[in-house]
Amino acid sequence: MPLGIGCTAKPGKSRNNKTGSWRVYYPVMDNAKCTGCGTCQLICPEGCITGSGKTLQIDLDFCKGCGLCAEECPDKAKAISMHLEDK
């Protein structure tokens, strides 16, 4: 039976769905304050924080604005802040 019968989908095709529109608060990353610990990147439920070291970027196409990254950013850095969307 060839694959294709049944319901198959290409890997990562959910990227068509831009969940950023759900957001109420948006995060702002201050790369100058970032210590590059990578906590935000590891714990983001979306996996929308890209880059490495101290040059991390948040992909606002997908960020739902949960605020977990800002909350968990270590106290000595606090590089991420949340702001109300102007919609």
Partner 1 sequence: MVDKSLELFDCGHRACGGCGASAAVRMILKGAGENTIVVSPTGCLEVFSTPYPETSWKTPWIHSLFENASAVASGIEAALKKQGRLGDEKVLVIGGDGATLDIGTLCISGAFERGHDFTYVCYDNEAYMNTGIQRSGATPYDADTTTTPAGVRSMGNSRPKKDLPQILVAHGSPYVATATMAYPMDLMKKVERAMNTKGPCYLQVHAPCCTGWGFDSAKTMEIGRMAVACGLWVNYEMVNGKLESVKKVKRVPVDSYLQAQKRFRHLFKPTRNEEEIAKIQAIADANAEKYGIDL
Which of 28, 43 has the CB closer to partner 1?
43
Site for partner 1 in 20-39 (CB under 8 A): 22-23, 38
CB of 32 to partner 1, least distance (A): 23
* Contact between 73 and 39 (Cβ < 8 Å): yes
Residue 72 has a CB neighbour count (10 Å cut-off) of: 14
51 binds partner 1 per the rule CB under 8 A: no
- Kindly write out the interface string for residues 55-74 of this chain, putting x where it contacts partner 1 by CB under 8 A and - elsewhere: ----x-xx-xxxxx-xxx--
CA-to-CA dists, residue 47 to 5, 6, 25, 58, 86, angstroms: 30, 28, 17, 9, 24
